[in-house]
Structure 1
Amino acid sequence: MKIFQYFLSVFLMANLLGCTVQQNNLTVDVYETSSNGNKLKKISEFKSGEDAVAIQLLPDEKFQTIIGFGGSFTESSAYLLNQIGKKNRDIILDAYFGSEGARYSLTRTHINSCDFSLSNYSYAPVAGDLALENFSIKEDLDDIIPMIKDAMELSEDGFKILSSPWTAPPWMKDNNDWKGGRLLPEYKDTWALFFSKYITAYKNEGINIWGLTVENEPLGNNSNWESMHYTPEEMVEFVSKYLGPKLKSDGHDIKILGYDQNRDELKEWADVMYKDEESSKYFDGMAIHWYASTYDYMPDVLQYTHDKAPNKLMIQSEACVDAEVPHWNDDAWYWKKEATDWGWDWAPDDQKHLHTKYVPVYRYARDIIGCLNNWVQGWVDWNMVLDTQGGPNWAKNWCLAPVIVDPEKDKVYFTPMYYTLAHFSKYICPGAVRIGFDISDKDLMMTAAQNPDGSIALVILNMNLESRNMKLSLGDRSVDIQISAQAIQTVVIPA
């Protein structure tokens, strides 16, 4: 599909005509997004300068294998794509999944409704239906499933889908409510069957689910939208005695990820989930969110969890700039410390310091780099598309998305967040292995990975108000390049 190439021609055609940089025998392709207006622009000319930051790549130092990067298929996003014209719908999907786009490889969707649904709904609406004879995914047939199928047609390499429930049907819970409460013991078998039926129903639609999280945010959300509570011990008991055995007996080869909430309580969950072989045998890993802090990616916690279970997965399953109405067609806003989040508005005084005002581009790039450098294998954004209000959703939980649309005017805005995520998803492929590096200036953040084809991609974040000269070395080869002030840059070394 060439529609996306047409859309990008205004600001990316120069990239296609750009030259590969070759100095001192090291050939590189350099792409930059910056506050000065670059949007994945291919850079081929660099100003000469002194005091270059030395970067030495160490490909013999190998760490985790990367699963992928991407965003989420929510009812809100899928609904909006149905409200705009086909041309813009195709442009957006091609931007995310096409060969010239961000090439998303790891995605997420919700089981039953969530805060980014238009209403509350469940696939099992009939109370007391223990055998789930009335189970149906008809709620997804008009929006989420068509969006996924269209993305599948565009994606040359395919993508994985991680599915998460926000809550069981209220009739299975001790408070009979969409919000809060716990699963009643007499419905544990039925809730495990629910997951199995969901996987089968989607498979019958031609969609394979790669992984499940047991519960989105099991610690709750102050009853602001759909939720269901678990302690670590309760989740281990449900997975080890009900969910794991049921999925296995029904022949589902699928990943099960535990926790699925903020990193500040991750250690406690790792201690319980990975206590011994019995507690951990059905868990393939841990899902995490970033909402505990706007600036701290919590490397010690990530390292602790990896050390606790080196062979288990860690997937960042949700992130967004929340509690903020989108800034329509205002690139500059995303490079300023003007954003707020739920913590800035609602956090208790003793946690306010964790929720400073922040530059949205920095928050995303810093967290992805920090996660990758501390054993995380996949990173998934929240909604792919929202409107100019930050919705629509029944909970009025306004957030930002990388792509914003005005359905009434059939207008589309690709925010700087879209390009920030693409710096990783487009150039670090599934199956890539993170490699070591040395960098002489700690004011720059970076990560590096070697792709399955042998090419190397490194992503560099410069949060300073000045540009930086850099000398990049791989073995005895090197090249002199430069990163702009307030910029994120991907450097690709061909195989």
Structure 2
Amino acid sequence: MRLLSIHSICLFLMLMSCNDTKTSGKIRMEVSIYETSAKGNKLTEVTEFQKVDSLVTLKLNPEISFQTITGFGGAFTESSAYLLNKLSKANRKLILNAYFSKEGARYSLTRTHMNSCDFSLSNYSYTPVENDKFLEYFTIEEDKDDLIPMIKDALLASEDGFKIFASPWSAAPWMKDNNSWVGGKLLPKYYDTWALFFSKYLDAYKAEGIDIWGFTVENEPHGNGNNWESMHFTPKEMTDFVQFYLGPKLEADGYGDKVILGYDQNRAGLKEWVDEMYRDEASSKYFHGTAIHWYESTYDYFPEALQYAHKKAPNKYLIETEGCVDSEVPHWQDDAWYWKKEATDWGWDWASEEEKYLHPKYAPVNRYARDIIGCLNNWVDGWVDWNMVLDRQGGPNWFENWCVAPVIVDPDADEVYFTPIFYTMAHFSKYIRPGAKVIALENSDERLMATAVQNPDESIAVVLFNEFETPKSISLLLYDKITEFTIEAQAIQTIVIPKK
């Protein structure tokens, strides 16, 4: 940063004094600015700024609006719930309040798994009895020790409430053509049974006092390299299952209002999936939207694919349902690592040579901030992180598929570490509320990522991300009002403009 001369400082202060009421004929706008930065801010309200040479002009236009926001949040997994149960009551409450309370991140959209997933302690199913075609022995007993208590306590912590959607990784092996947890397909003779499985799940969770908002039909229907629980569908197979089995079954059982999201994997495959899901009015009837993951690349957010999916079904949801820094053991109490380009992902080692460019070393904070802003600027209406809590190894995970979470804990020492990813997520979840509308924003600097929404209470939230090592001065305009401030190098900011 260039240091200002005494003369420049005096001139700057004089101009700021003049701008208390007007700047260049515009009225000074009162805002609140919150920043998370490599220098150490953690969702910190900032009020003092040093002007720098690089000037960016941002112009807001709430009269032009785009998608309606569904929410932001993370996933309830058995691993996260198990870890919370190993902590002291005080730290358990600390974490849940940090995620769900009004003073915390105010998560509004969440996910959980049906049957086990890799972030479970072991393989398990709600349908343990083989050939139980009518699911007379269906049970969610496995969820009652850890998962359900975590969800219930999160609901108690949340003043606004939140939506929950559930995803299966695999049916029990006895329903599949390979009789395995991994890979294979659902046998056609069990299509009715598998549709009933979703309805039984709704009944069971309702009996626990938990309302499930909706489902994704299958987590990662392409599979995951034959590593952990998976079950394969082609676009046509999934669409047929939803149109002829799942949709009608939920409707018949009084659950026709439950949201069904198709696909649920990487964005590069969107076109073939939305073309099939929304092939005609009959198939489109039961799909309420499309679910996507970011693992094709945690650097490229695939704007063309997102635009295509929106144009194919402009009145349907488009929700990012899973993302995390994978194939990494979390760094403990080391904020600097989360800002450095040291982290890799699965593709760094395993992607084909022609796709390696999609998987560069890239800072964890950058991955989240860049992707969420890129998604919001391309019609995505919800963004859901993966595990809320993991341990210092990046688990527990029965397959040892270690990953990073926003909150890392050491259960043996009863210690909690809120990583910079936690604060990055909160920049969106806390200040962009369900029902908000993404609004037009004119940005003079393509190297500064920016997005803006108008909330249901008519406040406006603008989120900026400066991943580079040079601070930027910002001039933010809303009609005849203006505010000027600086965003630090390697920083994310949320600017809140109160209702007029």
TM-score by length of 1: 0.95
- Whether the aligned pair in 2 keeps the contact of 1:210 and 1:254 (CA below 8 Å) is yes
The number of residue pairs the alignment matches comes to 475
1:8 aligns with: none
Aligned counterpart, 1:48:
51
2-structure distance, mates of 1:50, 1:434: 30
> What is the CA RMSD across the aligned residues, in angstroms?
1.0
The equivalent of 1:76 in structure 2 is 79
Superposed displacement of residue 48, structure 1 = 3.0
8 Å CA contact retained: 1:23, 1:479: no
Q: For residues 167-206 of structure 1, what are the structure 2 equivalents within 5 Å? A: 167-206=170-209
Deviations 1:53-74 (A, max 9, x none): 1110011011000010000000
SS class of match (1:113): coil
Match of 2:393 in 1: 389
In structure 2, what is the equivalent of residue 255 of structure 1?
259
- Percent sequence identity is 67
Please tell me the residue identity of whatever aligns with 1:443: R
Q: What is the match of residue 92 of structure 1?
A: 95
Structure-2 residue corresponding to 1:475: 479
Q: Tell me: CA distance 1:146–1:437, structure 2 relative to 1, closer, same or farther (3 Å).
A: same
Q: Which residue of 1 aligns with 2:407?
A: 403
1:269-288 to 2 correspondences below 5 Å: 269-288=273-292
Task: Please say which of residues 343-352 and 177-186 is displaced more in the overlay.
Answer: 343-352
Asked whether the 8 Å contact 2:317–2:381 carries over to 1, the reply is yes
SS at match of 1:121: coil
Distance 1:26 1:461 in 2: 21
2:328 alignment partner AA: E
Equivalent in the alignment of 1:447: 451
Distance 2:199 2:46 in 1: 49
List per-residue Cα deviations over 1:445-473 (Å, max 9, x = no partner): 01000000010000000011011001100
Q: Which amino acid aligns with 1:82?
A: N
Structure 2 SS opposite 1:27: coil
**Could you say which residue in structure 2 is the equivalent of 1:9?**
none
Match of 1:232 in 2: 235
Aligned residue identity for 2:215: L
Unaligned runs of 5+ in 1: 1-20
Letter in 2 for 1:392: P
The one-letter code of the counterpart of 2:381 is Q
Q: Which residue of 1 aligns with 2:219?
A: 216
Task: Name which of 430, 434, 442 aligns with 1:430.
Answer: 434
Give the 3-state SS of the residue equivalent to 2:79 in structure 1: helix
Alpha-carbon separation, structure 1, partners of 2:52 and 2:367:
29
Aligned residue for 1:491?
495
> Which one-letter code corresponds to 1:90 in the other structure?
K
Match of 1:340 in 2: 344
TM-superposed CA distance for 1:50, in Å, is: 4.3
* Aligned residues of 1:23 and 1:480 also touching (Cα < 8 A): no
Q: Is the 8 A contact 1:462 1:483 kept in 2?
A: yes
Shift of residue 304 of structure 1? 0.4
CA distance in structure 2 between the aligned counterparts of 1:150 and 1:114, rounded to whole angstroms: 22
Letter of the 2:313 partner, please give it: A
Q: Does structure 2 conserve the Cα–Cα contact (< 8 Å) formed by 1:23 and 1:478?
A: no
Structure 1 residue 354 corresponds to structure 2 residue 377: no
Q: What residue identity is the alignment partner of 1:65? A: T
Counterparts in 2 of 1:95 and 1:243: CA distance versus 1, 3 Å? same
Residues in 2 aligned to 1:235 and 1:148: alpha-carbon distance in whole angstroms: 29
Contact 1:405 1:412 (C-alpha < 8 Å) held by counterparts: yes
Looking at structure 2, the residues matched to 22 and 40 of structure 1 have their Cα atoms a distance apart, in angstroms, of 26
1:380 to 378, 384, 399: 384
Give distance in 2, aligned partners of 1:464 and 1:324.
24
| Deviation of the 1:346 alpha carbon | 1.0
Q: Which residue of 2 aligns with 1:311?
A: 315
Which AA in structure 2 matches 1:408?
Answer: D
Select between 276-285 and 401-410 the one with higher mean Cα deviation.
276-285
Displacement of 1:49 in angstroms is 3.9
The answer to whether the Cα contact below 8 Å between 2:72 and 2:107 also exists between their aligned partners in 1 is yes
Residue in 2 that maps onto 1:133: 136
Match of residue 33 from structure 1: 36
Q: What amino acid does structure 1 have at the position aligned with 2:283?
A: S
Q: Which residue of the partner structure matches residue 155 of structure 1?
A: 158
CA-CA distance at 1:481 after TM superposition: 0.7
Instruction: Pick the aligned partner of 1:329 from 316, 326, 333.
Output: 333
- CA displacement at 1:52 relative to structure 2: 2.1
**Which residue is 2:147 aligned to?**
144
Q: Tell me, what secondary structure is at the counterpart of 1:446?
A: strand
TM-score, structure 2 normalization: 0.94
SS of the residue corresponding to residue 317 of structure 1 reads: strand
**What letter matches 1:75 in structure 2?**
E
State the distance in 1 between where 2:111 and 2:484 align.
Answer: 39
- How far the C-alpha of 1:275 sits from its partner, in A, is 1.3
Amino acid at match of 1:436: A
Deviations 1:397-436 (A, max 9, x none): 0000000000010010000000000000000001100000
Give the residue type in structure 2 aligned to 1:488.
I
AA in 2 matched with 1:460 = L
- Structure 2 portions without partners, runs of 5+: 1-18, 23-27
- Give the Cα separation in 2 of the matches to 1:209 and 1:437: 35
Among candidates 291, 295, 301, match of residue 299 of structure 2: 295
1 CA distance for matches of 2:478 and 2:124? 54
8 Å Cα contact 2:53-2:472 kept in structure 1: no
Q: Quote how far apart the aligned CAs of 1:443 are.
A: 0.5
Distance 1:206 1:100 in 2: 25
Matching residue's letter, 2:437: V
Distance in 2 (CA, whole Å) between partners of 1:463 and 1:221 is 31
